[in-house]
Amino acid sequence: MSSTAVLEEAPSEEVLSNVDIDIEVTSSTLILGSQMNNEDGHSEDASMLVEGTTPVEMRQTNVTTVPKEPSTCWKTGARYCIVTFCCLNVVMLVFGGLWPALSQYSKDDHKRIVIIQTDRLVNVVNERFLSVALDSSLIRKNFKKFDMKSKAARMLGSSLSPCYLRVGGTAADRLIFVENHPKNGQNDDAPALPIDGGPCAYEAELCTKNHAYFNMSGEAFLEINTFAKTTGMDMIFDLNALLRNGKVWDDTNAKELLAYANGLNLKLNWQLGNEPNAYRHQFDEVVEATQLGDDYVNLRNLLNSYPKYAKSLLVGPDITRPRPPKLADLDYLREFLRTAGPRLNAVTWHQYNLNGREATLQDFLNVETYNTLYEQIILVNNAVRSMALGTPIWLGETGSAFGGGAPELSDRFVASFLWLDKLGVAASEGIHVVVRQSLYGGHYGLLRTEHKGDHKGALIPNPDFWVSILHKKLVGTGVVGVTLLNDFKGPVRIYCHCTEPSALHPGLGAVTIFGVNLLPDAIELSLQGTHNVSSVDRYILQGESGLQSQYVLLNGEKLDIGPNYRIPPLTAQPMDLNSPISMPEHSIGFWVLHGAQVPACQNTQ
């Protein structure tokens, strides 16, 4: 077995390890309730099932397809033709028991064949993979409607730990720390700040119109840190990068904040600036990438001068998503990394799928909306890897739609498809942490304040909160490769992880399959690549009243918070092993396959 590791320095002085594990094993094949072995008792490689079928798009698997049309064979001579004919017949004989499944797939649009690749993990994510953010604009608003001292906020927030709590956003570059500021987070003349930049997020106007500088008191800063500590989150604070002496970052205010935090022994991680490559259209200012790199070096040295913060994480630079064919943001990232790369614990970037002002219901169901993330991750990964730093890559801020989200869409069940798929894509494509914008605030908040009915004024979950809770409960850090035959990047999207250890049955391993069905019709999944499954737990999520419902059904039962803001039992529905795995129309599914023997998962469970 060979392994390579990328280490992240954790704020609590432990070291988080992201390890790619490569284990030589033999995969078994399962069509739920039926395992197919050859005469020697060994399972055949399921990927070979595609030999001789129509070409399909494959991913993360070593699949050999027939490269030529039948007529081409005769052009290369009779010998080649005879050998090819014999090989195809052997393959068909060996896999004859599974051939009907593929034949049925071609005739039945509601069936999907899913091959689980058990030989190795494609990624191992951070244990805080699913993390959350609070926008800095909430500080200016004195946390109106979100009382972090309340039992509701602390109980609901703690259900998402372990995670990072990133405090940042456009308003971070307007924030000034004033320890004894009398108005606790307010400035005499500053107007209320919109979350996520508001109108300036759409590049229609400069952020300076609505983003005057404002003050954060020591009391406000301590309140956020106390919330993070109480809920089991690790706080990341985004310092103001637009406080400058000419071209150079003015670290005076940062030193005041560090001295205050150190005096109270507060646990913290840090970053500097928010979307610096977009400063021109946001604030009519420019901070060159090399200069920002020097500023990060200065900040790292400043942190190292405090024993408390010498091991704190420093992450950045939080560039905006790459948008082909204009890729100047990637040039900015590379220039920045040439200077600051060795000082970083993680490289961060931001991504939103849609424009919050323009998004429609159909956009949330369009596979092209989903597929852009693949392309953007590849571009960022290539840019970072070209620097040969070996630094983990984080999605440092993300949501369904920028500008605060899309009204009546980002806070509805239909947005949960996009959220779960983003978690699946990011993990399988090498991202180590995904920071959700936001825990509270905007249309994309995981939590909202109810404005009507019996819960008026109460803090309650949006649909994406329940998806996040189930992901935390069932999905572990080891990412298992998946091939979905004939439907890669289509409306049915499936992912697989090693099961979260706390969800395992005693003495048994397991894998968790999860995904979304964007189709208006039910579908069935035939799983191949695991064996010895002893039981299957099923979790199906649907909108209570359709795609734009703000309430969610789990296996037909409405989810709601219990007394004292306790999360209700998220009860599984046991499956008959002889029954197919089914997904209703417009649904989200998680399945835990207990007893599944996946050697690659042994080091993560």
**C-alpha pair distances (Å), 165 with each of 224, 253, 270, 433:** 9, 22, 11, 12
Rounded Cα distance between 15 and 243, Å, is 33
Catalytic pick from 8, 44, 223, 397? 397
| CB atoms near residue 382 (< 10 Å) | 10
538: three-class secondary structure by DSSP: strand
> What DSSP assignment string belongs to 160-216?
T-SEEEEEESGGGGGEEE-TT-TTSS--SSPPPPPGGGGGGGGTSS-GGGT---EEE
Amino acid at 328: A
Q: Choose among 32, 98, 62: nearest CA to 596.
A: 32
Q: Which of 44, 275, 429, 500 is catalytic?
A: 275
Task: Tell me the residue length of the chain.
Answer: 605
Q: Does the annotation count 397 as an active-site position?
A: yes
Strand partners for 39: none
**Residue 187's CB: how many other CB atoms inside 10 A?**
18
Cβ atoms 216, 155 nearer than 8 A: no
Q: Cα(240)–Cα(218) distance, rounded to whole angstroms? A: 16
Task: List Cα–Cα distances, 374 to 312, 514, 569, in angstroms.
Answer: 31, 18, 34
Q: Decide: helix, strand or coil at residue 308.
A: coil
Catalytic: 408?
A: no
Active site residue ranges: 275, 397
